[in-house]
Amino acid sequence: MLQVTISGPPGSGTSTLVDGIRKNRKWSSLNGGEVFRGQAEERDLTVEEFSELCRENLDVDRMLDEQLKLKIADASGPDIIESRLAAWWAMEIKPDVPRIHISTSIEERARRLMKRDGGTYKENFQRAVNRHRDDKHRYQSLYGIDLDDMTPYTHVIEADDKGESDVLNMVLEILEG
């Protein structure tokens, strides 16, 4: 059963955070980013190319989001759902669940993406800018959602100057709540 949603842009540290929560709490999780990357790989596309496909064919995104909504509502579903829109759906389906957003600057995300994926800072900065622009446009077109709107989140953690363990400890305190 859903216990928490974790959201944040690519490179913000959400996957690392979810791993920490899972290990600490022995909870199950669903990673929307992994689902997205898996769908890209199945189509033999890069994440950026798949993002473009989703922007051109909104039905692909709608299908992925419907799957996510079903998981949020499922009493036997995962304890943690990590997704850009999980908080938006949980706000409607499971309003009592903590909805946490990890916020990082575009510069910090570029540094983290460079560590995770390789490449230069400039390449990762541009990838982060492009992905944010594409996602922002897509979610606005699909649902009228502004990714910069923090309304659905019960907690927003500014993580530019925080280490992985700092963020994890903050979230574990929230979950103790």
pLDDT, tens digit (0-9, with 9 covering 90-100), for 75-123: 999 999 999 999 999 999 999 999 999 999 999 999 999 998 899 999 9
Q: Is residue 173 part of a domain?
A: no
Q: Is residue 135 part of a domain?
A: yes
For tokens 């100057």, name the residue.
161
Q: Is residue 166 part of a domain?
A: no
- HSE, CB side, 13 Å, CA atoms: give it for residue 47: 17
User: In the chain, how many domains are there?
Assistant: 1
User: What is the DSSP code (8-state) at residue 163?
Assistant: -
Question: Residue 61 — very low, low, confident or very high, per pLDDT cuts 50/70/90?
Answer: confident
* Domain region containing 36: 4-160
Q: Is residue 172 part of a domain?
A: no
pLDDT of residue 25: 97
| Residue 107, C-beta contacts closer than 8 angstroms, at least 6 positions apart | 125
Q: Is residue 18 part of a domain?
A: yes
- What's the CATH code of the domain at 63? 3.40.50.300
pLDDT of 131 over the 90 cut: no
Q: Is residue 176 part of a domain?
A: no
Q: How many CB atoms lie within 10 A of CB 129?
A: 13
Tell me if 6 sits within 8 A of 84, measured CB to CB: no
Q: Is residue 118 part of a domain?
A: yes
Instruction: Tell me the per-residue pLDDT of 38-54, one tens digit each, with 9 for 90 and over.
Output: 888 999 999 878 878 87
Look at 33 and 79; give whichever has higher pLDDT. 79
pLDDT of residue 66: 87
Full-model pTM? 0.87
Average pLDDT, the chain: 92
Q: Is residue 43 part of a domain?
A: yes
